[in-house]
Structure 1
Amino acid sequence: MKRALAFGLVSAQFVLLAALALLPHGSLWPVNAGVLVAAIVLGAGGVILAVLGVAGLGPALTASPIPREHAPLVTTGVYALVRSPIYTGLMTGGLGLALFGASIWHAAAWLALALLLAGKARWEERMLVAEHPDYVGYGARVGRFLPGVGRLRRSA
């Protein structure tokens, strides 16, 4: 059941990212030079952050939100700034795509992606707390998606 849920969440994440890239452009707001620059900066920043997150995990990397057994807890590099840099990168890049897309459908897809990744991160963190006794202390120091924001309470 746990693996099926993990597969479903990862699949939904990719569907939403594909929707952000492939939905037809709208006219909810004008896509002028400023919006285009913001979309490019957010998209590129999101990709860079996600790649740094992937590279930083090393042997702990898995496509599933289920942590790899006996993998080390990574708290250095980009993980010293945020606990979920891959998810932050996906949300940031997705926001760039939504800005460029300029439709209510893009906005809805981005909101769905952000909510999905937030729920996925919370589920993943419960498993990480069970796997790594040091995770609660780490989570109390480091924000979930933004530095300092969404820190865990030590009683978690």
Structure 2
Amino acid sequence: MKRALAVALVSAQFLLLLALGLLPHGTLWPVNLAVVVAAIVLAGGGSVFAVLGVRGLGPALTASPIPREHAPLVTNGVYGLVRSPIYTGLMTGGVGLVLLGASVWHLVAWLALLLLLAGKARWEERMLVAEHPDYAAYGARVGRFLPGVGRLNP
């Protein structure tokens, strides 16, 4: 059951990201040079942050939100800034795609992605607390998606 939920969440995440890239453009705001530059900065910055998160995990990396058994707890690098840098990067990059898309559907897809990643992170963190005795103290120091925001109660 746990594996099936993990596959469903990861699949939904990729479908929402794909939707952000493929939905038809709208007219909620003009997509001028300033919007394009902001979108590129956000999408590029989000991508870099997500890749740093992927690289930082090393042997603990898994596509599933279910942590690898006996993998080390990573708390340095970008994981010293936020607990979920990959998700932060995906959300940030998604904002860039929303800016370019300029449609209600882009906003809806991004909000769905935000809710999905927030729920996925909470589920993942419950498993990390069970797997790593130091995770609760780490979560009390480091924000979930933004530095200092969403810290766990000690």
Q: CA deviation at 1:83?
A: 0.1
Q: CA deviation at 1:46?
A: 0.5
Q: CA deviation at 1:32?
A: 1.1
Q: Per the alignment, in what secondary structure is the counterpart of residue 39 of structure 1?
A: helix
**CA deviation map 1:65-104 (0-9, x unaligned):** 0000000000000000000000000000011001100000
TM-score relative to the length of structure 2:
0.99
Distance 2:99 2:116 in 1: 19
Residue of structure 2 in register with 1:145 after alignment? 145
Distance 1:38 1:130 in 2: 40
Q: Which runs of 4+ in 1 moved over 6 A?
A: none
Q: Superposition pairs for residues 8-19 of structure 1, below 5 Å?
A: 8-19=8-19
Q: CA deviation at 1:15?
A: 0.2
State whether structure 2 residue 127 is matched by structure 1 residue 127: yes
Residue of structure 2 in register with 1:96 after alignment? 96
Which structure 1 residue ranges, 5 or more long, are not aligned? none
Distance 1:119 1:27 in 2: 31
Q: CA deviation at 1:3?
A: 0.3
Q: CA deviation at 1:120?
A: 0.2
Residue of structure 2 in register with 1:21 after alignment? 21
Amino acid at match of 1:128: L
RMSD: 0.4
Amino acid at match of 1:13: Q
Distance 1:68 1:125 in 2: 13
Q: CA deviation at 1:35?
A: 0.9
**CA deviation map 1:25-69 (0-9, x unaligned):** 110111111111110000000000000000000000000000000
Distance 1:25 1:38 in 2: 17
Q: CA deviation at 1:2?
A: 0.3
Amino acid at match of 2:70: H
Distance 1:5 1:94 in 2: 23
Which structure 2 residue ranges, 5 or more long, are not aligned? none
Amino acid at match of 1:46: G
**CA deviation map 1:5-38 (0-9, x unaligned):** 0000000000000000001111011111111111
Amino acid at match of 1:124: E
TM-score relative to the length of structure 1:
0.98
Q: Per the alignment, in what secondary structure is the counterpart of residue 72 of structure 1?
A: coil
Residue of structure 2 in register with 1:35 after alignment? 35
Query: How many percent identity over aligned positions?
Result: 82
Residue of structure 1 in register with 2:56 after alignment? 56
